[in-house]
Amino acid sequence: MTLSTFSFPTTILFGAGAIGELPKQLAKRGVLRPLLVTDASLARTSVFERVAELVPAAAVYSGVEPNPTERNVLDGVARYRESNCDGIVGLGGGSPLDAAKAIRLKVTHEAPLAEYDDLLDGGNRISANLPPYIAVATTSGTGSEVSRSAVVTIEATNRKTVIFSPNLIPSLALSDPELTVGMPPHITSGTGMDAFTHNVEAYLSKGYHPVCDAIALAGAKLVWQNLPHVMDAPGDLDARSNMMMASMMGAIAFQKGLGAVHSLAHPLSSDCGMHHGTSNAVLLPVVLDFNRSVAAERLDDLAALFGGGDPAERVRELNRRVGIAPRLRDWGVKEEILPKLADKAILDGCHQLNPRPCSREDLLALYRAAY
C-alpha cells in the first residue's frame, strides 16, 4: 500500500453575519492596515461597500482579472508596499482569492512567481513567513478560501500555473452565506455546479482516502438538495449556507484528486471563454458514462444520493433544473476547435487521477459527445 497524507487544517469561521467579525479577527492577528484584494465588478457592489466599511484603514487593490495574471499579482504587491500594509483580506470568487494568495506569497518571497510552479516542485521554496490572510468568499464554488493552491497565468509562458503549498492556506476562511445572496443566477448555477463537480470527481478519483470520500459524498448530496432551491429562492439563507458549506467540502475533498472533467474544462475557459463551473456541468455527464466500466460501484453510491437511476441522466436533469444548456454548441464553442482543445486537455494534470485512464483520442471523443 502506498503512503497517504491526511491534512484538514483550515480554520473556518462560518455562518450568516460572520463578516461582522472581520475587524476583530484582523486585530487578533495584529493587522492594522490590510490590503483588500478584489476584482473590478465586485468593487462596484454593495457587498464590497459592506466589507470596506468594516476595514476603513484598508488599502484596496481591485484589479484582479477573471483569470488572474502575474501582472495582477505584481500590481497588488506594489500597492501593498506603497501603502505599508501588514496583512491581506481577499474578497470574491476564486480569482481574487487566488490572486490574494499569490500577492501574500510575493510580499515575502523574492524569486519570480514562475519558480514556485508546482510542476517544478516550487512549493518546497515556500516558507511559513507570510503575512496574515483572511479569505472572504462571495461565491459558493471554488472553495479557494480553504485550499492550499493558487492558479495564476505566468507572463513568460502564458500558461495557467498552479502554486501549491500548505503554507498558502489562509489564516482564516471567513465564510458568510449572506454575501452570496446577490449573485446573478448564472453565477449561482455555474459556481454551484463547480462545487458539485469537485465533490463528484473527488469521490471517483483514484487513490485511498476514505476521509475525503466521506466528505465528497456528503458535499455532493448538499448540492443536489440545495442548488435547485437557491435558484428558486435566492434569499434563502439556509440553502445558501448549505451551498457555501458544500463548496468548502468539495475543495477539502479534492486534495484527494479530481479527474477528466477538470482537464476538459480548463481549455474551454482559456480558449473559448466559457465559465469554469458551466464547462464542468456540461462535461460531467459524458465523463460519468465514460467512467462506468471501471467505477460502477462508486457511480451507484452517487446515484443512491440522487434518489437512484442512472447518475449521468440525473446530472443532466440537475443541469436542466438550474438552467444550464446541455451541449457545448449551445455555449458558442466551434466544432473545429475540439482537436486543439484535446491537445491541451491531455497536458492538464487533473485526468491522471481519473478512475479510467484517458488518451488524447478519449478526451476528443468526450468533447464530441458533449458537443
Residue written as grid cell 473527488? 202
By CB under 5 A, the residues from 193 to 212 that bind Zn ion are 194
Judged by beta carbon, residue 39 or residue 194, the one nearer Zn ion is: 194
C-beta of 198: minimal distance to Zn ion in Å?
6
Q: Name the pairing type of β-strands 149-154 and 159-164.
A: antiparallel
CB of 7 to Zn ion, least distance (A): 20
Cβ proximity to Zn ion: between 65 and 155 the closer is 65
Q: Extract the runs of DSSP E, i.e. beta strands, from the chain.
A: 12-14, 34-39, 59-64, 87-92, 133-137, 149-154, 159-164, 172-175
> Binding marks (x or -) toward Zn ion, 156..195, rule CB under 5 A?
--------------------------------------x-
Give the nearest distance from C-beta 95 to Zn ion in angstroms: 12
Q: Pick between residue 70 and residue 194 the one whose CB is nearest to Zn ion.
A: 194
Contacts for 148-151: CB closer than 8 Å, 24+ residues apart: 148/255, 149/98, 149/118, 150/98, 150/99, 150/101, 150/102, 150/105, 151/68, 151/94, 151/98
The owner of cell 478519449 is 362
Residue nearest to Zn ion (CB): 194
Q: How many CB atoms lie within 10 A of CB 45?
A: 16
Residue number with CB closer to Zn ion (194 or 362): 194
Orientation angle between helical segments 360-370 and 276-305, nearest 10 degrees = 90
CA-based nearest residue to 129, from 94, 82, 165: 165
Give the nearer residue to Zn ion in terms of CB position, either 89 or 202. Answer: 202
Nearest distance, CB of residue 318 and Zn ion, angstroms: 16
CB of 98 to Zn ion, least distance (A): 12
Task: Report the candidate in 6, 355, 356 with the shortest Cα–Cα distance to residue 214.
Answer: 6
- Read off φ and ψ for residue 45, nearest 5 degrees: -100, 165
Closest contact distance (angstroms) between CB of 163 and Zn ion is: 16
> 145 or 194: whose CB is closer to Zn ion?
194
What CA–CA distance (Å, rounded) separates 54 from 18?
12
User: How many residues form the binding site for Zn ion (CB under 5 A)?
Assistant: 1
| 56-75: contacts with Zn ion (CB under 5 A) | none
Does 145 bind Zn ion (CB under 5 A)? Our answer is: no
Binding site for Zn ion (CB under 5 A): 194
